[in-house]
Amino acid sequence: MPPSWLIWLVGGVVLVAAGVASTLLPRLRARDLRRRTAWSTARAAIDSASVSRDACQDQVAEAEQLLARAESIAADRGGAGAADEAAALAERADRLWREARRG
Amino acid sequence: MRWSLLGAAVVTLVVFLLAQRTQGIDVSYGRSPSPSDAGQQSDEDAESDETGARGESSLPSVEEMTAMVAADPVVRLPGAVARWDERDVAEAIGDADIRIIVAPPGLDEDERSQVREVENATIAIFGTKITGDGYVVVADRLSGWRTQFGTADVTGRLITLITEVAEREEPEPETTPEFRWREPSGAELDTVAADLRADGVHVADGATLERVPERPSETAFPDEDALYVALPTQDIGEPIARYGPALTRLFPDRPVVVLYGSWIEYDGPNATDFAELVSTMFYSRFDERLSVDGYPQANVLGVWLNHVTDVRYAGLFDRPLPYEPPDPLTVTLPALPWLFAACVVGFVVLSLRPLSRHNTARTPGPRARLAGLTALAIEVSGLTDERSDPALTRGIGKLDAARDALDSDLPARQVRALLDDAESELDDTARLLGRTDYRPRNYLEGGLG
């Protein structure tokens, strides 16, 4: 039988480790999920915007600019905030191109 | 569940730590509950009440005492208790110049040395302790102690010392037997028995037993309430009424304790087993103190009862030891670390399970919708023209994104948002084509078939 203080020590360490893990892990996971979600939205928006651009005969300088910024942000990668920003830029560009095409 | 386990672990830990603080190593078997276990404690017990017993008599000065001794061969200071057979002692002294000073019991050390400074006194008696010429004469058997403490009779020992001091070779003269018993008279016995029937205690005039020490009495005689008879120190030269056997006949199976001064007689159950033993232990140990200090009978009785308790717990009564229930804390203490470990393991397992469980609950809804929309996009793709192409392409892009999202376990909300986008694009496509049957709502309602 191991000395009982060893059990107390190991038990205490395990408890603390479990406490840290159980608070930290879900938080990290949630952050990662939110980042990936945001990038999923952003990429979809950029794709849509590029399709709209290809479909539009006229040049829309402002939209080009917005999309270029969105793409450069996307190229840098980054957190959920950057992704949200890129998505917003791409959506604005998309809207501009669609309006231009509708005439 | 896991929080209750954590709580249990913490409680275990706290209990363990508290137990560490309070638990000492304490191994005992049949511990006697008498306080005299602790060695001097009974001495201190006796001492604590002793002040009341000390004579208030103030000693005369050394010069006065010396003058008194010079004038009279036997000087009894006020409060002196020791007595002897004058005739026998006078005979023993003969023509030797032996002067005796008798001091009362209960003198403190200073007062005793004051008496010792009286140079012309050959023998000094403190209480019933006899000293002289560098000698101390003590009783060494029960009969001697009985005489000394029951009657304050010091004749025998005094004669021994006189013979020694006078440096006489001849054998000690015959003395009358010091302690003689007689049967108590009917009237005496009736008085005592009436009191005992009333409250179990008889205190005669002149006895100093104010109260029977309750706890020692209970532990010494747990089965039957003991009867107590307290008598004052007896006169010498007369036979002494022996109440014990007579009372035992009146109260069979009750312990009977009779005090003659500081001498304690026991009769009743198990008398032969322990009475002599306890008396020997008691008087050999406290001989000196009882001789010199005049304790009230209650103190003497209390210490004696503690000795009886000790003997009882030493197993001489041949009775099973009292049952002591095991302390639950002591019993569980060795199991506590394991209990704690089990709680920790349970807590950790229950905490990790939801973490390790993969979010693989694949709801069929989004997948079916994705499949339906994909099928619609493929069907429509053959029909599109230049106007509706961008919407279709964007829709397909959204569908791709939704599939990625599904595959990488993004939340259902995100998938739904992407599918909603795709649906609205495909809806645009169908509107631009003018084919309402390809509008997603209508198309999906009909099913894939």
Asked, for residue B53, whether it belongs to a domain, the answer is: no
- Which chain A residues are closer than 8 Å to B421 by Cβ? 44, 48
Token digits of residue A48: 């849509």
Q: How many CB atoms lie within 10 A of CB B61?
A: 11
Please check whether residue A65 touches B, CB under 8 A: no
pLDDT band at B39 (very low <50, low <70, confident <90, very high): very low
Token digits of residue A20: 């840290």
Contacts of B355 (CB under 8 A, 6+ apart): A21, A22, A25, A26
Whether pLDDT at B121 is above 50: yes
Asked, for residue B431, whether it belongs to a domain, the answer is: yes
**Residue B426: per-residue pLDDT:** 87
- Asked if the Cβ–Cβ distance from B390 to A51 is below 8 Å, we say yes
Q: Are residues B337 and B424 in the same domain?
A: no
Q: Are residues B378 and B330 in the same domain?
A: no
**Residue B44: per-residue pLDDT:** 45
Contacts of B216 (CB under 8 A, 6+ apart): B34, B301, B302, B305, B306, B309
Asked, for residue A31, whether it belongs to a domain, the answer is: no
Q: Are residues B393 and B409 in the same domain?
A: yes
Q: Are residues B110 and B160 in the same domain?
A: yes
Asked, for residue A78, whether it belongs to a domain, the answer is: yes
Tens digits of residue pLDDT in B213-231: 888 888 888 888 888 999 8
- Asked if the Cβ–Cβ distance from A11 to B341 is below 8 Å, we say yes
Which helix (H) or strand (E) segment holds residue A29: the answer is helix A4-55
Phi, psi for residue B322 in degrees, rounded to 5? -65, 145
Whether pLDDT at B54 is above 50: no
Name which of B9, B338, B397 is nearest A47 (Cβ-Cβ). B397
**Residue B52: per-residue pLDDT:** 41
Asked, for residue B239, whether it belongs to a domain, the answer is: yes
Asked, for residue A85, whether it belongs to a domain, the answer is: yes
Residues B36, B30: Cα–Cα separation, whole Å: 15
- Asked if the Cβ–Cβ distance from A41 to B9 is below 8 Å, we say no
- Which chain B residues are closer than 8 Å to A14 by Cβ? 344-345, 348
Tens digits of residue pLDDT in B58-72: 778 888 888 888 888
**Residue B359: per-residue pLDDT:** 53
Asked, for residue A28, whether it belongs to a domain, the answer is: no
pLDDT band at B357 (very low <50, low <70, confident <90, very high): low
Q: How close does chain B come to A50, measured CA to CA in Å?
A: 9
Say which range, A20-29, B220-229, B378-387, has the weakest mean pLDDT.
B378-387
Q: Which of B393, B416, B424 is the mutation pick for testing A, counting most A CBs within 10 A?
A: B393
**DSSP notation for A82-93:** HHHHHHHHHHHH
What is the chain A residue with the closest CA to B412? A37
Domain hosting residue B338, numbered range? 1-30+324-357
Q: What percent of chain A has pLDDT over 70?
A: 97
Average pLDDT for residues B74-84, to the nearest whole number?
85
Among B240, B317, B235, B242, which Cα is nearest to B278's? B317
Asked, for residue A82, whether it belongs to a domain, the answer is: yes
Sheet architecture: strand order including B123-126: B74-76, B100-103, B123-126, B129-132, B135-137
pLDDT band at B171 (very low <50, low <70, confident <90, very high): low
Asked, for residue B175, whether it belongs to a domain, the answer is: no
Please check whether residue A11 touches B, CB under 8 A: yes
- Which chain A residues are closer than 8 Å to B352 by Cβ? 18, 21-22
Q: Which amino acid is at B349?
A: V
Say which range, A77-86, B353-362, B388-397, B411-420, has the weakest mean pLDDT.
B353-362
Domain hosting residue A81, numbered range? 36-102
Tens digits of residue pLDDT in B133-170: 788 888 878 888 888 888 888 888 888 888 888 777 66
Name which of A10, A12, A37 is nearest B414 (Cβ-Cβ). A37
Asked, for residue B231, whether it belongs to a domain, the answer is: yes
**Residue B85: per-residue pLDDT:** 82
Q: Which amino acid is at B73?
A: P
What is the chain A residue with the closest CA to B336? A4
Q: Are residues B189 and B265 in the same domain?
A: yes
Q: Are residues B302 and B415 in the same domain?
A: no
Asked, for residue B37, whether it belongs to a domain, the answer is: no
Strands B135-137 and B129-132: antiparallel
Whether pLDDT at B33 is above 70: no
Asked, for residue B92, whether it belongs to a domain, the answer is: yes
More confident of the two residues B53 and B353: B353
Average pLDDT for residues B343-347, to the nearest whole number?
86
Asked, for residue B171, whether it belongs to a domain, the answer is: no
Asked, for residue A24, whether it belongs to a domain, the answer is: no
Give the number of domains in chain B: 4
pLDDT band at B387 (very low <50, low <70, confident <90, very high): confident
- Asked if the Cβ–Cβ distance from B411 to A37 is below 8 Å, we say yes
ipTM of the complex: 0.78
- Asked if the Cβ–Cβ distance from A44 to B9 is below 8 Å, we say no
Say which range, A56-60, B315-319, B381-385, has the weakest mean pLDDT.
B315-319
Please check whether residue A37 touches B, CB under 8 A: yes
Average pLDDT for residues A3-8, to the nearest whole number?
79
Give the number of domains in chain A: 1
- Asked if the Cβ–Cβ distance from B337 to A7 is below 8 Å, we say yes
Cβ pair B439, B431 in contact under 8 A: yes
Residues of B with CB under 8 A from a CB of A: 6, 9, 13, 16, 334, 336-338, 340-341, 344-345, 347-348, 351-352, 355, 389-390, 393-394, 397-398, 400-401, 404-405, 408-411, 414, 417-418, 421, 425
Phi, psi for residue B203 in degrees, rounded to 5? -115, 115
- Which chain B residues are closer than 8 Å to A86 by Cβ? none
Whether pLDDT at B191 is above 50: yes
**DSSP notation for B30-94:** S----GGGGTTHHHHHHHHTGGGGS--PPPPPHHHHHHHHHH-SEEE-TT---B--HHHHHHHHT
Q: Which of A24, A41, A91, A102 is the mutation pick for testing B, counting most B CBs within 10 A?
A: A41
Average pLDDT for residues B14-39, to the nearest whole number?
62
- Asked if the Cβ–Cβ distance from B16 to A8 is below 8 Å, we say yes
**Residue B47: per-residue pLDDT:** 46
Whether pLDDT at B418 is above 70: yes
Q: Are residues B187 and B307 in the same domain?
A: yes
Asked, for residue A13, whether it belongs to a domain, the answer is: no
